């Protein structure tokens, strides 16, 4: 069992686990909401066996990761999440790494890769080109998808903030069940993850994330320039593999239409799983990372 470590960026004290030899090829595994680092428990050993140095951080507002200042805006906007990954690399003295993630972690990995491609050797993203098109968020999805997004609509109101604050475990467990309808996870596994939701900034950051996405909250003024760049839909220019879970109700039809956003070697792969891809298909997730690393090494 690796020992929990911490490192400081300009904004955060990031808690993380490091696995494998320090001389291994670097990869950062970024988790999503409402999950945490345990999503990668079965992915990590597969990567270490292939010579990887694996960094698994708790994202902002999860687990032991903390903001350094009480005055820092508790934003979860995409520019902040992507910048966090680059700041993590800086703090650890890592010049370049493979970035891999799902849900918020997929978003963060895509953002970091699009904005700082010289820092990324390869990308694995669930699901697809996961940078948020804020302008498109103003238009409704089809009713079936809107119903699956009930939690995002709930979070737009004070009622939603109170619900998340008071019943965060039951709400998040419900999302696990709805998003991965054929995954039989144990109460023990959920409880091990759910302790990360007790972070003092969890509610503020989660609420801001979804309000910002829907245009109902302002972002951090210091991140405006990065958000403008993201609004231009920058292409991904490093070797990439995107993943789709065919049983994920949040991604009906998958992300096949995203291929044009990737300008280097690219593949899209599917697995018969739900939203919690690295939990449900760890070997597929790990193999994608290994393959992207090999592609990048051959360039």
**How far is residue 172 from each of residues 167, 177, 292, measured CA to CA in Å?**
8, 9, 32
Q: What is the pLDDT along the chain (299 residues), one digit of tens a residue?
A: 689 999 999 999 999 999 999 999 999 999 999 999 999 999 999 999 999 999 999 999 999 999 999 999 999 999 999 999 999 999 999 999 999 999 999 999 999 999 999 999 999 999 999 999 888 888 899 999 999 999 999 999 999 999 999 999 999 999 999 999 999 999 999 999 999 999 999 999 999 999 999 999 999 999 999 999 999 999 999 999 999 999 999 999 899 999 999 999 999 999 999 999 999 999 999 999 999 999 999 98
Calculate the CA 275 to chain-centre distance: 12
> 202-213 vs 158-179: helix axis angle to the nearest 10?
90
Kindly tell me the burial class for residue 139, based on how many C-beta atoms sit within 10 Å of its own C-beta (0-12, 13-18, 19 or more).
Answer: exposed
Compute how many other C-beta atoms are within 10 angstroms of the C-beta atom of residue 294.
13
Residues 6 or more apart in contact with residue 246 via CB below 8 angstroms: 254, 270, 271, 272, 273
Is pTM beyond 0.75? Reply is: yes
d(CA 13, CA 11): 7
Rounded Cα distance between 84 and 15, Å, is 12
Please report how many Cα atoms fall inside a 13 Å half-sphere around the Cα of residue 138, on the Cβ side.
Answer: 3
């Amino acid at each position: 069992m690796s020992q929990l470590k911490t490192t400081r960026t300009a904004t955060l004290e990031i808690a993380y686990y490091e696995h494998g030899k320090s001389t291994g090829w670097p990869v950062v595994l970024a988790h999503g909401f409402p999950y945490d680092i345990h999503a990668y428990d079965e992915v990590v050993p597969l990567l270490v066996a292939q010579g990887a140095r694996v960094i698994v951080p708790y994202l902002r507002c999860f687990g032991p990761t903390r903001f350094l200042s009480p005055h820092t805006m508790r934003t979860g906007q995409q520019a902040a999440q992507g910048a966090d990954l680059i700041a993590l690399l800086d703090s650890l003295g890592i010049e370049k790494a493979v970035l891999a993630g799902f849900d918020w972690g997929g978003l963060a990995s895509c953002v970091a890769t699009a904005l700082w491609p010289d820092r990324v050797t390869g990308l694995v993203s669930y699901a697809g080109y996961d940078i948020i098109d804020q302008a498109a968020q103003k238009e409704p999805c089809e009713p079936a998808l809107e119903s699956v997004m009930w939690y995002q609509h709930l979070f737009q109101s004070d009622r939603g903030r109170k619900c998340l604050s008071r019943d965060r475990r039951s709400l998040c467990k419900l999302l696990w069940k709805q998003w991965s309808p054929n995954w039989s996870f144990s109460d023990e596994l959920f409880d091990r993850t759910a302790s990360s939701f007790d972070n003092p900034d969890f509610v503020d950051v989660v609420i801001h994330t979804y309000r910002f996405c829907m245009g109902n909250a302002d972002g951090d003024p210091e991140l405006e320039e990065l958000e403008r760049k993201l609004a231009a839909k920058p292409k991904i220019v490093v070797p990439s593999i995107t993943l789709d879970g065919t049983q994920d109700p949040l991604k009906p039809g998958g992300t096949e239409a995203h291929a044009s956003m990737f300008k280097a070697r690219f593949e899209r792969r599917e697995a018969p799983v739900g939203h919690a891809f690295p939990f449900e298909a760890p070997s597929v997730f790990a193999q994608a990372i290994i393959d992207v690393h090999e592609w990048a090494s051959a360039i």
